[in-house]
């Protein structure tokens, strides 16, 4: 039996009973194929593989609210080919926002918002179709993952969203903070439990918050393998509550992270929640850094 170490946590990789037993032994009674989660981690990217680059618009929320077209023009000039949206559309309809993106040669790489349910299904689908994306990311609050019961409720919501959106070709993924990776519940990380919700749910791995939680992002990327649809890249001091930096200017081991990206990654997304320098300059430097590593696909 081979043990792969995640910071202070040892996960059995060679024993397929580990995940299934852990899930069944909890209140979840989730019958999940270990192969779909563990052995998929072998599918790591070819060193020559390139990915499209997007910016999470939360990073430039202040600047975009003041002059959206100026921001979009700048992003295109920096080498970004897409943007990841939030629920805020700058008082534009989805069609109007799509026109703005098209004018600058940018694609919608996906969006973040509340977990989709039956009440919001039609609006979510219509917005996705108008803007041309097929990925929706959800955040789970720290209180949502405090106990096994709360995690089970979050898993149920996640699985329901995947089932509702599947007929429309839309995939769902969870975007993590540190609290999905800084604790064990019933022998598993909350992030692992969320992926147990359904074979139709995916992860958007925020590599910075994984590192802040004390885990190795490269190990998580290998572990989750083809369940990873996109990644969020940040850099900084790797401390909660501290301002972040442009990629390459902080403490993250970016080359190691980038070399561990699974083939399944559809977008590499820069996201800076706050920055200790001018945000637009940090966004530019981050794109420049990634392009210099020859992993960004142009056009």
Give pLDDT tens digits for 134-181: 999 999 999 999 999 999 999 999 999 999 999 999 999 999 999 999
Domains of the chain, residue spans: 49-292
Q: Which residues of 245-260 are buried (b: 16+ CB within 10 A; e: fewer)?
A: bbbbbbebebeebbeb
Please, are residues 200 and 164 in contact by the beta-carbon 8 Å criterion? no
Give pLDDT tens digits for 220-250: 999 999 999 999 999 999 999 999 999 999 9
| pLDDT (0 to 100) of residue 24 | 52
Q: Percent of the chain scored above 90 by pLDDT? A: 81
In this structure, what token pair is assigned to residue 121? 């299904």
Q: Is the pLDDT of residue 15 over 50?
A: no
Give pLDDT tens digits for 121-132: 999 999 999 999
| pLDDT (0 to 100) of residue 48 | 55
The CATH H-level superfamily of 49-292 is Divalent-metal-dependent TIM barrel enzymes (3.20.20.150)
Give pLDDT tens digits for 183-230: 999 999 999 999 999 999 999 999 999 999 999 999 999 999 999 999
The mean pLDDT value for 39-44 works out to 46
Q: What is the mean pLDDT of the chain?
A: 88
| pLDDT (0 to 100) of residue 191 | 98
- Higher-confidence residue: 44 or 279? 279
- Higher-confidence residue: 20 or 65? 65
Note the pTM of the prediction, 2 decimals: 0.88
Distances from the Cα of 53 to the Cαs of 33, 148, 287, 298, in angstroms?
32, 36, 8, 8
Residue 115's region, left for phi above 0, alpha for psi from -120 to 50, else beta, is: beta
| pLDDT (0 to 100) of residue 47 | 60
Give pLDDT tens digits for 42-99: 455 446 589 999 999 999 999 999 999 999 999 999 999 999 999 999 999 999 999 9
| pLDDT (0 to 100) of residue 3 | 32
| pLDDT (0 to 100) of residue 35 | 33
Please, are residues 263 and 49 in contact by the beta-carbon 8 Å criterion? yes
| pLDDT (0 to 100) of residue 159 | 98
In this structure, what token pair is assigned to residue 207? 């590599």
Angle at 45 between CA 162 and CA 54, to 5 degrees: 60
């Amino acid at each position: 039996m081979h043990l792969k170490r995640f910071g202070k946590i040892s996960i059995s990789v060679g024993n397929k009973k580990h995940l299934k037993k852990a899930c069944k032994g909890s209140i979840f009674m989730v019958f999940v194929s270990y192969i779909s989660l563990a052995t998929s981690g072998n599918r790591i990217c070819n060193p020559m593989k390139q990915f499209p680059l997007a910016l999470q618009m939360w990073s430039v929320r202040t600047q975009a609210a003041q002059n959206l077209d100026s921001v979009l023009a700048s992003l295109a000039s920096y080498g970004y080919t897409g943007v990841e949206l939030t629920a805020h559309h700058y008082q534009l309809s989805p069609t109007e926002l799509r026109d703005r993106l098209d004018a600058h040669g940018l694609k919608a790489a996906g969006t973040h918002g509340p977990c989709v349910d039956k009440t919001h299904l039609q609006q979510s689908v219509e917005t996705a179709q108008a803007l041309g994306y097929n990925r929706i990311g959800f955040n789970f609050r720290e209180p949502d993952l405090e106990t096994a019961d709360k995690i089970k409720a979050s898993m149920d919501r996640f699985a329901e969203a995947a089932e509702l959106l599947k007929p429309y070709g839309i995939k769902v993924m969870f975007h993590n903070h540190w609290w999905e990776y800084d604790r064990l519940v019933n022998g598993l990380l909350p992030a692992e439990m969320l992926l147990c919700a359904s074979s139709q749910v995916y992860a958007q791995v925020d590599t910075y918050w994984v590192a802040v939680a004390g885990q190795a992002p490269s190990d998580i990327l290998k572990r989750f393998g083809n369940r990873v649809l996109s990644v969020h890249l940040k850099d900084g001091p790797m401390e909660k509550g501290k301002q972040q930096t442009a990629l390459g200017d902080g403490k993250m081991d970016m080359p190691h992270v980038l070399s561990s990206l699974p083939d399944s990654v559809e977008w590499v997304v820069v996201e800076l929640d706050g920055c200790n320098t001018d945000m637009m300059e940090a966004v530019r430097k981050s794109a420049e850094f990634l392009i210099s590593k020859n992993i960004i696909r142009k056009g």
